[in-house]
Amino acid sequence: MNRESHSLTESPAKHLPRKEREKLLRRREIIEAAKRVFAEKGYRNATLEEIAAAAEFGKGTIYNYFECKEELFIAIMDGTFDEVTELASKAMAISGVSREKFKQLAFNLLLYYKHNLDFFRLLMREVNQFQLEVRKTNVKRIMNRLLRISEILAEALRRDIRAKRVKNHNPSIMATMFLNLIHSFFMRNMQTWQTMSEADLQNAADFITSIFFDGVAVHAH
């Protein structure tokens, strides 16, 4: 099973001029500090002053990169979606049928949750409050990013539907259902997630994939 990178940090492009690299590095440091503060305080209670202190910058420096707390949180979300999109694209690009691709993706996402556990605990804890407090355009933007990830999976299912390896159901809905299975498994086991080994996560990926492709009914032969 392939292992993917699971860091949410942004590596400055080496080919950029020094000042641009420094700006990217500073932005990354602010984002990393914000993730820590959000995880500790929650989105609603966290302040830009606390984020600036955690990043060891003045508050004015934060405003050079982000206009408000919401914009900073959206930047964190964008980084997360970029990496999840990459994980999905790489899993769907491996050779084989969609079942193998989906199992690879399930493992990669479960491992990604583990390496970014504090952030995802925050997200699960405050998702409803976040939707109430941020601008509707940003909520819509997040939903569109989720749909685009789902469509990467749906395209793999369409190919298997045409090859008659998968039942001819709506591939977009099926893709969303698979991602929801992964999400539900994480939610059910979130409190003990840090103790799970890679072997545990592999078994979980096998289980999720089996439920999705085989169902739960016992079929008589």
- Torsion angle of the four alpha carbons 180, 185, 190, 191, in this order, in degrees rounded to the nearest 10: 150
**Residue environment code for 189-207, b if the CB has 16+ CB neighbours within 10 A, otherwise e:** eeeebeebeeeebbebbee
Question: Is 79 part of any domain?
Answer: yes
Residue 8's pLDDT band (boundaries 50, 70, 90)?
very low
Indicate the DSSP class of residue 165.
S
Same domain, 89 and 158: yes
Same domain, 29 and 128: no
Question: Is 220 part of any domain?
Answer: no
Q: Which contiguous run of DSSP H or E holds residue 127?
A: helix 117-133
Same domain, 24 and 116: no
pLDDT of residue 44: 85
Residue at 181: amino acid letter: L
Q: Does 12 score more than 50 pLDDT?
A: no
The vertex-178 CA angle with 177 and 180, nearest 5°, equals 65
Residue 118's pLDDT band (boundaries 50, 70, 90)?
confident
Q: Does 65 score more than 90 pLDDT?
A: yes
Count structural domains, the chain.
Answer: 2
Predicted confidence (pLDDT) per residue in 179-194, tens digit: 999 999 999 998 899 8
Same domain, 130 and 163: yes
Q: How far apart are CA 86 and CA 94, in angstroms?
A: 13
Residue 126 is part of a domain; what is its CATH number? 1.10.357.10
- Domain ranges, residue 45: 10-66
pLDDT of residue 50: 96
Indicate the DSSP class of residue 203.
H
Q: Does 61 score more than 80 pLDDT?
A: yes
